[in-house]
């Protein structure tokens, strides 16, 4: 599991996730992401997910929690490069309507 945090500036953070987003990896990734986005000035989080090989409902929960956290801060979440399998899980959970503009293929 690899998570690369790239602070672009004080208001925008890019997070690159590689490997699997599942119940085994999400707790560690969640801690890293929430620590970064709870900084007061962060207004945009870009999650680069091209390297995510598979995702289960724990991964979906992580994405939703990140989106909610950014919404509370009047911020923006952008999901970039989700593979078709991850997109299908999001659609099955009917979250594509909720996440809407956050998903950027």
CA distance to 45, 48, 60, 86, per residue, from 80 (Å) = 11, 5, 14, 11
CA distance 41 to 47: 17
pLDDT of residue 38: 82
pLDDT grade for 16, boundaries at 50, 70 and 90 = very high
pTM assigned to the model: 0.88
As a CATH number, domain 2-104 is 3.30.750.24
* Tens digit of each residue's pLDDT (9 = 90 or more) over 23-81: 999 999 999 999 888 877 889 999 999 888 889 999 999 999 999 999 999 999 999 99
Estimate the crossing angle of helix 57-72 against helix 84-92, to 10 degrees: 70
User: Can you give the residue ranges of every domain in the chain?
Assistant: 2-104
CA distance 20 to 43: 26
């Amino acid at each position: 599991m690899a998570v690369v945090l790239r602070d672009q500036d004080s208001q925008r953070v890019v997070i690159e996730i590689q490997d699997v987003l599942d119940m085994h990896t999400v707790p560690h990734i969640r801690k890293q992401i929430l620590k970064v986005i709870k900084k007061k000035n962060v207004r945009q989080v870009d999650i680069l997910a091209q390297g995510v090989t598979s995702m289960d409902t724990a991964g979906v929960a992580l994405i939703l929690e990140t989106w909610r956290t950014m919404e509370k801060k009047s911020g923006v979440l952008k999901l970039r490069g989700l593979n078709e399998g991850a997109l299908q899980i999001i659609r099955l959970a009917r979250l594509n309507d909720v996440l809407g503009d956050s998903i950027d293929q």
